[in-house]
Amino acid sequence: MLFGRIMYGVIITSFIIIFVLFTLIESDARDKIRSELVNDQEIHGETMTKHNAHLISNEFVIILEKQKELALHVAHSQHDLSLDISEFALDAYDNIDSRMDIFSLSILDKDNIIKIRVKNGTLTEEFVGQDTSEVKFVKEFNEKQKPLISDVFLGLDGKPRIASKYPIFDEYDELIGSIHVIINPTSFFQHYDDLYDLPPDVLTIVDKNQQFVKHSIPELIGENMFDEKIQSQLNIEKLDSETNELIRKSFSGDDVSFIFEFDGNRKLTFMQPIFLNDEQIFTIILSIPLEKIYSKPQAILFSAEYVVYILIGVTGLIILISFHFIQKQFLKREELQKFSIIGELSARIAHDIRNPLNNIKLSADLVSRKNSDEKLKPYFETIDKNISRISHQVKDVLDFLRKSPIKKEQVNIKVMIDNVIDSIQVPANISIDVSDCSFNANVDKIMMESAFSNLILNSIQIIGDKNGKITVSIKEKDSQHSITIEDSGEGIDSKIIDKIFDPLFSTKMEGTGLGLASVKAIIEAHGGTIYVKNNPTTFTITLPKILD
């Protein structure tokens, strides 16, 4: 009786310790999940900004190509008076405007006077004859005499514009004019919000002079982002020297990411330069509030934690009841029956673990189905993967303890292996190839399926989260059959490769050390052999061609 009371005390104390440890681990896990969410968002944000930068650069490449075509027509018209430049200008406008929203297209002479202007798809006399020599980007163009994407400027209509300017040269490479494509930045960049279904305050674009080209507040377009009045209006807190240095790096051609206070909120911010012909023309700024990243996962985690706490309590109660039953049986048995009771205890605990695991899996699946947030999908997959791992460990223990007689039957090995693979949740990052060759063998189907399941799961665990491949080769030889399972994982340490089939030997903290030992026992019970080699890791199983 004293022993029973001590054990009850130990179990209760153990569960109190487990409960406290779980609370501490849960708090740490929450912090890690927050960190992982930010890390995942960093990857997604970097991909998004780079993709947008590439698209914007390509759009300006298209504009310049169309301007180049028009410039060639204008140059040829100097010798062929039959060419109608107005028609070419209309065609060029339509070609560009059909792909992206532009404001106007103009042909200017060498003195920067507008000769032809197209707006809204038709020729217009508005601003024709206007001298644009004093416009800042026109002056810059006159100095360089090469294709130019301007900073934001006030157009002739007094509104913020950006321009793409292309030179027209005659046959002697003398500048005789230029092509202007004037762009309304607000409408031009609007579809980049729609592309990723972004709120308007997430994506901002600035030019080389740090002037807003796209902003959720239209009145700020053309304003310098570092102007004190603008920063005060946006409620940007004073940036530290490190953040300022990162921002300067972005305007110098580097892509950077950081977290800072903006508009009263902490935001994960990405800055990606946009290049055209190896010259930086704009910078994309993507700012994502951290609260938006955390909000949904926190609510779901709270629900999941509530379920887990209940399941821990239920599991503890089950184990106490189970122990009470086993203790009664233990007291009734003689000394020679102790080992049998220990085996029963192990099996019962394993089964008791399986039931709460099934409940956890069902609860997690229910929460997953009720939430469609794609950002949380990896975390539900992680829960499912870990539940499968624990179930696999329980199965290892039960298979090793269970000594069942071999029941042989005719089995097609390839069909059996295909069925095993179908029963396993293979991660998306791993592919499995099975050769077309096959043979029939007299084996215990259940035992052999367990052995191959253990080997394939072992390969999946070794590959982990990296992209990888598992190759299963089936060969028929004169005296024996062979099956090899090769994976692209990191391999096995040469110092321990001779020990991996030993019972209770494992290199993984979460392993039981019984999986490969069980595989070896099953194969040898069928008169076969199993061995492993490295580089790449390859398990080879041989089975007699004719089994008794």
Residue 213 or residue 517, greater confidence: 213
Mean pLDDT of 389-398: 63
Mean pLDDT of 212-223: 88
Under DSSP, is residue 349 helix (H, G, I), strand (E, B) or coil? helix
Cα maximum dimension of the chain: 117
CA distances from 399 to 52, 222, 421, 519 (A): 54, 72, 19, 10
pLDDT at 509 (0 to 100): 47
- Mark out the alpha helices in 78-106 (DSSP H runs): 85-99
Nearest to 253 by CA among 63, 413, 441, 53: 53
Count of H-run helices and E-run strands, the chain: 13, 19
Residue 261 or residue 413, greater confidence: 413
Residue 435 or residue 403, greater confidence: 435
pLDDT at 62 (0 to 100): 92
pLDDT at 510 (0 to 100): 52
Max mean pLDDT range (292-306, 411-425, 492-506, 509-523): 411-425
- Among 207-216, 224-233, 331-340, 362-371, which is the least confidently predicted range? 331-340
What's the CATH number for 408-544? 3.30.565.10
Residues of the chain with CATH 3.30.565.10: 408-544
pLDDT at 338 (0 to 100): 44
Does pLDDT of 251 surpass 70? Answer: yes
- Among 25-39, 79-93, 265-279, 311-325, which is the least confidently predicted range? 25-39
Side chain identity at residue 308, one-letter code: V
Residues of the chain with CATH 3.30.450.20: 47-294
Side chain identity at residue 531, one-letter code: Y
What's the CATH number for 47-294? 3.30.450.20
Does pLDDT of 139 surpass 60? Answer: yes
For strand 256-262 and strand 265-276, is the pairing parallel, antiparallel, or unpaired?
antiparallel
Does pLDDT of 1 surpass 60? Answer: no
Does pLDDT of 379 surpass 80? Answer: no
Residue 48 or residue 294, greater confidence: 48
Does pLDDT of 298 surpass 80? Answer: no
Residue 365 or residue 221, greater confidence: 221
Report the percentage of the chain scoring pLDDT > 90.
21
Which residue pairs from 421-425 have beta carbons closer than 8 angstroms and sit at least 24 positions apart in sequence? 421/456, 423/453, 424/453, 424/456, 424/457, 424/460, 425/384, 425/385, 425/388
pLDDT at 187 (0 to 100): 85
Residue 323 or residue 51, greater confidence: 51
Which token pair is 149?
């994407």
- Among 38-47, 159-168, 182-191, which is the least confidently predicted range? 38-47
Mind listing the pLDDT tens digit for each residue in 496-532? 888 877 766 565 645 555 678 788 888 888 888 998 8
Does this model's pTM top 0.75? My answer is no
Task: Give the confidence band of 310 by pLDDT, cuts at 50, 70, 90.
Answer: confident
Whole-angstrom distance, CA of residue 263 vs CA of residue 215: 13
Task: Give the confidence band of 117 by pLDDT, cuts at 50, 70, 90.
Answer: very high
Phi, psi dihedrals of residue 525, rounded to the nearest 5°: -65, -20
pLDDT at 282 (0 to 100): 93
- Among 105-109, 290-294, 434-438, 542-546, which is the least confidently predicted range? 290-294
Whole-angstrom distance, CA of residue 487 vs CA of residue 468: 7
Sheet with 212-214, side-by-side order of all strands: 212-214, 203-207, 279-289, 265-276, 256-262
* Contact in structure between 456 and 432 (CB atoms under 8 Å): yes
pLDDT at 377 (0 to 100): 72
Mean pLDDT of 419-438: 87
Mean pLDDT of 86-108: 90
Mind listing the pLDDT tens digit for each residue in 443-473? 888 888 888 888 888 888 888 888 999 999 9
pLDDT at 81 (0 to 100): 52
Whole-angstrom distance, CA of residue 297 vs CA of residue 303: 10
Task: Give the confidence band of 286 by pLDDT, cuts at 50, 70, 90.
Answer: confident
Average pLDDT, the chain: 79
Does pLDDT of 477 surpass 60? Answer: yes
Mind listing the pLDDT tens digit for each residue in 8-17? 666 677 667 7
Residue 219 or residue 355, greater confidence: 219
pLDDT at 205 (0 to 100): 92
**Cα dihedral 522, 488, 475, 494 sign:** negative
CA distances from 171 to 76, 79, 174 (A): 9, 10, 7
Residue 347 or residue 519, greater confidence: 519
pLDDT at 182 (0 to 100): 94
